[in-house]
Structure 1
Amino acid sequence: MTTISVSGGAFAAYQVIVGRGLLQQAGARIAPLARGRTVIITDETVEAVHGAALTASLAAAGVQSRIVAVPPGEGSKSFAQLERVLDRLLEIGLDRKDVVIALGGGVVGDLAGLAAALYMRGIDFVQIPTTLLAQVDSSVGGKTAIDTPRGKNLVGAFHQPRLVLADIDVLATLPARQVKSGWAEVLKHGLICDAAFFDWLAGEGAAGAKGDPAALERAVIRSVEIKSAVVGEDEKEAGRRALLNLGHTFGHAIETEVGFDEDALAHGEAVALGCCMALRYSAREGLCSSQDAARVEAVIAAAGLPTRLDQAGAFEADGLLALMAGDKKAEGGALTLILARGIGRAFVAKGVDADKVRAFLIAEGATG
């Protein structure tokens, strides 16, 4: 079991605990934080698999709990579900001493975290991520949000959790596609700033993409270490934290164009494709070698993830470009991309020439 501290000048420090059997220990670990009641926000699928174990653990530690379940899928990151969750919290009568627990993947974590941020101007919440993607990415760092038809995660708040429990055992219940989707975010961390980690992921560590528990545990620990260091320096993405969005500007635009249809394209799949596109664009602009871009594509393909635009569907260059211009990192309508000077050497590129990006999208297979 490994404990990683997340701390920064603007928020209270908290722990991310990575290990096995943590769901059964959750009650004892949450009890010191829960001075009153807890409400578990989850989705209907996760409730059926893990809800009873969590409520039993809380009860054994003397912690009262209620469950609020939303439909599974990206569609629950919406104004309608946010309103429904907040109304249930009001109906239950939570006060500022009570705690919200997010039990689920990134959708649940984002929705529950935003509800906790808004409820009575902010109450404590705990993340218990049940997907690999959530364990290595969305549960750490305090980003909470919902989607709108105009884009992904455009309405939200920064609200740090009090505790994160990343139980490796729960990953065994995931479909293979979800494990691969989360693996994209793991690979992303290596591409940003740790070439040696990427090398391990491309070799011995590749077993994690197939569900090997030991490889998954090491991958989660290193990913959280990387993310916690970045978040501690830059909580609100004023600078270095933007690096964590490698692949996301391309990926979010593609996700929006397919209507957030996870059957067509899961979030991690979009990130994987976006990372490949970011490396290929970097190579096209002479920022990194074509060999690095090709290696990244080969490693991502070997993990069973998409690497080419036509694997996600048919797209128009202008439509994708318009969505990229509306990305949260854009400034004054000018494009900001996370690009790379090589594996492990990502950087923030501001004021990127939109005409060059449009030409690149057409070269990638989008229609002009």
Structure 2
Amino acid sequence: MTSESMTFRNGALFDGERLHFDQVMTFRNGVLAALAAEETAQIEGQVIDLNGDILCPGFVDLQVNGGGGAMFNDDPSVDSIRQIAEAHRRLGVASLLPTLITDTPEKTEAAVAAAIEAVRAGVPGVAGLHLEGPHLSVARKGAHDGALIRPMEDADLTMLIAAAEQLPCLKVTLAPESVSLQQVQALSDAGILVSLGHSNADFETCQRYAVAGARCVTHLFNAMSQLGNREPGLVGAALATGGLSAGVIADGIHVHPEVIRAAWAAKTAPGQIFLVSDAMAVAGTDQATFELEGRRITRTDGRLTLEDGTLAGADLDLTTAIRILVTHADVPLQEALAAATTYPASLIGQPVAQPLRAESMIRISSDLESCSWICSQG
């Protein structure tokens, strides 16, 4: 990080809350020192002309299964977490939750231990851990291995509460079919971010689980009970319940942009819809295929599918997700940027830093096609 003053002009400046135009942003000794109208601002230090690009805090991604050629399920180790985090940092991600999908108890315990060690070792960008399963519904398993889905037992609850004590954030995706209200209450009381997902539960059941402590919904619309005219399902609960936020895979494949548009308009505050990549091993690479626990996954035209055609994660980065929100779902740019930064960061108790630091900022091209860190050390 440079110790010189840096002034950014001629672009859109997002400070985590608002998008500013016709203003300049000055960092002094790496820290935001001034944000002022260009005609009155005191320009100092190195002046960087953004040429209409966007200056924004780095992204926060709460669902990252892999990247850089590595899958967390294949190797739940510190080295794997580091490889995944480095790949996503090149894609503009400042903070992420490495995500383990449904697996054996032994693999889950290894993932917890690896995440704890990665945090202790200060692996850049690691904000905790996301366990997506195994306490889900077989009826809505998606690409998860149904043979490994099972109810939560006392030993699982004890393990998760102990893990939460050693992690800055532990997110757990579960289904009411496999976890009791009392268990959700205990998880929530322990500071765990409980997210409902891979569930066929009805609207009223999902609302009861929100009252018990669930605060999130995993990949809205995918692998869950849908919004119907007589039964709103988990989708309806996510949209109608202010205490629930919801991640969405905005690749134009998992959820149609018109559906995203409708959901954005329907969402009840204070909960927010935020972006996740649901990225797999191919993120940040040109790989065409990879394996997940011995099952071949193919990358074709932006899709990742098992041999039977089931979607298996996403071939997505958050810059692309922002572009799809803005250009296909008519989400205002300010909200789309917040959905990749402020909303998920706040949900895990790590709000976008104030004052902003230069090393945390990325430059997004005006066409929303690419991004880069403004400091080489970032």
TM > 0.5 fold call: no
**Structure ranking higher in helix proportion:** 1
Higher relative contact order (CA 8 A, sep 6+): 2
